[in-house]
Amino acid sequence: MTHKKVCILGAFGVGKTSLVARFVSSIFSGKYHTTVGVKIDKKDVLVGDQPVTLVLWDMAGESAVSRLKTTHVNGSAGYLLVADGTREETLETAVKLQKEVAVIIGDAPFILVINKTDLIEEWTIDPVELEQLRASGWDVRMSSAKSGDGVEQIFYDLAARTIQPAGDADVQQ
Amino acid sequence: MSSNETDSSFNPLASLLAAMDCMVWELVDSDSSLVPISAAPAWFEDIIPAGGDRRDFLSLLPYLELFIPEAIETWNEGKGCTQSDFWSQTTNSGDEVHLLALAVLIEGRHFIIVRSAHELYEERQRWQLYAHETTIQLKVIERLKGQVEESARALSAANDQLSELSIRDALTGLFNRRHFDKIFDLELSRAMRGGEPLSLLFMDIDKFKLLNDTYGHSAGDDCLRAVGRLLRDVVRRPTDMVARFGGEEFAILLPATDGVDALQIANSINRAIRALEIPNKGSEVCPFVTASLGVYTRQPDGDRSTAQIIEAVDAALYQAKHEGRNRAVVAAPHQR
């Protein structure tokens, strides 16, 4: 079976681990567990009729005490940049990380995920900034690891792009 | 993994490492493949999926795909060992196992050791969590600090506005009586210290009650506002001051102004008010609004109290009224 390494990147506390837990195990815990180093999970999906094992590298969140270890993204077929809609500074972190990752692995497909739609009334991220990113070619999605909103589609779409860069493959679980 | 798969020449070390919950491989140079030399600890057994290949180490432990090239680079640099960052994997039972890898060079042979490090991980996690919470708190403090500063600025601006309002007459925008009293005290003290003259004009709009009765209070208010604007235009020096003293009465304080100039200003005001041609048809003085003024100039050796000066200028104003209004009268010597 084809294995595709996918990294999940973003500032600390944006919900990277929760998104993976929602996608892999369909579970959500409201308790915050900070990831140390990297957490690796696997999930088998079908891209069209091609079975693919996604090897999900859930990286420790970016912060003053935890910086992206650039070698960790080596070999990635694609990546998710995760930001927290309620913390506008996490979008800056995502944009910064994208630049760093692009230097290491080049033009790999990625999706910017603005997480926590369940708290959308508390969002501080500027929609204009998101529109600007979309206009520059970024795929920007909304999700809630808590409710599951948007989560599976994001992972499936990224899986499809790791196989077919055009990104219009028929993907099934 | 059975014990007969281990390397007999490293049995003591392998046994020791196995007892320490470690999984040990030798990296064989010929094809960079991993050859296990220790028995598998429980955590390793627990990450092998049902039907999975227990010898497909790189698939079972994907982190090693990154770590082994790093280890080889370390050895090539002549260093004996290196350690990985933490990584975690989910076991078959759904728990997490937290692992660390160590690459060591012993007697020319290359070994990769992976061990579970649960307690160490939790300790690091607690420290990292504390750091993250501190970062969030600092952000909150920064935001609150910004809000407090913004509130302080707004409060200061409101205080400034309130302070300005407290010294102004709402109708005309001129200074009010209270502020006049304060400034008059200060200017009198200054004049006494500096030996300079100080002039004061009192002005009253003639037949103002009649204007109110004839045209209504709104017209009266318009008249007061127009007169206020005029006085501001006529009295322009920064040290001069125009105040609405009350009703239709105004005070004009003219520091460092002698009697001749003060009378000239008073006459200018008198003429300018008449020239406004604000109708007051019932007045026997003139069909337009006029004003009477009392003029007082304090000489350097003159009166020493504001009360004496106000009494003198008020008397001059009374005299202007008594003499037929629409004029300026200088306070007589006995009034000074």
pLDDT tens per residue across span B293-304 = 999 999 887 777
Taking the C-alpha atoms of residue B172 and residue B298, their distance in angstroms, rounded to an integer, is: 28
Helices (H), chain B: 11-19, 42-45, 57-60, 63-76, 118-166, 177-194, 208-215, 217-234, 259-275, 306-322
pLDDT tens per residue across span B87-135 = 999 999 889 999 999 999 988 899 999 999 999 999 999 999 898 888 8
pLDDT over 70 at B334, yes or no: no
pLDDT over 70 at B219, yes or no: yes
Q: Do A34 and B125 touch (CB under 8 A)?
A: yes
Reduced 3-state DSSP string for B6-60: CCHHHHHHHHHHHHCCEEEEEEECCCCEEEECCCCCHHHHCCCCCCCCCCCHHHH
The closest CB to that of B65, out of A35, A65, A75, belongs to: A75
Instruction: With beta carbons less than 8 A apart as the criterion, state whether A82 and A9 touch.
Output: yes
Both structure tokens of A59:
């990286």
ipTM for this prediction: 0.86
pLDDT reported for residue B236: 85
Taking the C-alpha atoms of residue B329 and residue B322, their distance in angstroms, rounded to an integer, is: 10
Taking the C-alpha atoms of residue B329 and residue B318, their distance in angstroms, rounded to an integer, is: 9
At CB < 8 Å, which residues of chain A contact B? 3, 5, 12-13, 24-25, 32-41, 55, 57, 60-61, 63-66, 69, 71-72, 74-75, 89
pLDDT reported for residue A125: 95
Domain B3-116 bears CATH identifier 3.30.43: no
Taking the C-alpha atoms of residue A81 and residue A92, their distance in angstroms, rounded to an integer, is: 11
pLDDT reported for residue B145: 95
Q: Where are the domains of chain B?
A: 3-116, 177-335
Taking the C-alpha atoms of residue A125 and residue B151, their distance in angstroms, rounded to an integer, is: 24
Q: Give me the domains of chain A, ranges plus CATH numbers.
A: 2-164 (3.40.50.300)
pLDDT over 70 at B335, yes or no: no
For B232, residues 6+ apart whose C-beta sits below 8 A from its C-beta are B173, B174, B242
Catalytic residue among B248, B277, B284, B311: B248
Q: Which residue has the higher pLDDT, A3 or B15?
A: A3
Nearest CA in chain A to B130: A34
Both structure tokens of B181:
């009293």
The mean per-residue pLDDT over the stretch B245-274 comes to: 96
pLDDT over 50 at B4, yes or no: no
How large is the C-alpha radius of gyration of chain B?
A: 49
Quick one: pLDDT band at residue A168, thresholds 50, 70, 90? Answer: very low
Instruction: With beta carbons less than 8 A apart as the criterion, state whether A76 and A5 touch.
Output: yes
What pTM, to 2 d.p., does this model score? 0.66
pLDDT tens per residue across span A54-95 = 999 999 988 777 788 888 999 999 999 999 999 999 999 999
Both structure tokens of B105:
């060079």
Taking the C-alpha atoms of residue A73 and residue A50, their distance in angstroms, rounded to an integer, is: 24
Phi, psi (degrees; rounded to nearest 5) at B281? -65, -25
pLDDT over 70 at B3, yes or no: no
Taking the C-alpha atoms of residue B281 and residue B213, their distance in angstroms, rounded to an integer, is: 11
Cα dihedral sign for B108, B109, B112, B117?
negative
Of residues B202, B244, B196, the one with CA closest to residue B224: B244
Quick one: pLDDT band at residue B32, thresholds 50, 70, 90? Answer: confident
Reduced 3-state DSSP string for B246-269: ECCEEEEEEECCCHHHHHHHHHHH
pLDDT reported for residue B187: 95
Mutate: best of B61, B95, B135, B138, partner A, most A CBs <10 A: B135
- Lay out the sheet containing B249-255: strands in order across: B241-246, B249-255, B198-205, B291-298, B328-330
Nearest CA in chain A to B69: A71
Largest CA distance in chain A: 43
For B255, residues 6+ apart whose C-beta sits below 8 A from its C-beta are B187, B190, B191, B196, B198, B199, B239, B240
pLDDT tens per residue across span B42-87 = 899 999 988 888 888 988 999 999 999 999 999 999 888 999 999 9
* Residue carrying the six token digits 């979309």: A134
Quick one: pLDDT band at residue B9, thresholds 50, 70, 90? Answer: low
Instruction: With beta carbons less than 8 A apart as the criterion, state whether A30 and A78 touch.
Output: no
pLDDT tens per residue across span A29-50 = 888 888 999 999 999 999 888 9
The closest CB to that of A71, out of B59, B66, B89, belongs to: B66
DSSP SS3 for A38: strand
Active site residue B70: no
Taking the C-alpha atoms of residue A61 and residue A115, their distance in angstroms, rounded to an integer, is: 14
Distance in Å from the first CA to the final CA of chain B: 120
Of residues A6, A7, A168, A12, the one with CA closest to residue A90: A12
The closest CB to that of B87, out of A3, A25, A37, belongs to: A37
pLDDT over 70 at B308, yes or no: yes
Of residues A124, A16, A51, the one with CA closest to residue B132: A16
pLDDT reported for residue B61: 95
Burial class (CB in 10 A: 0-12, 13-18, 19+), A51: exposed
pLDDT reported for residue A70: 81
DSSP SS3 for B335: helix
CATH of domain B177-335: 3.30.70.270
pLDDT over 70 at B262, yes or no: yes
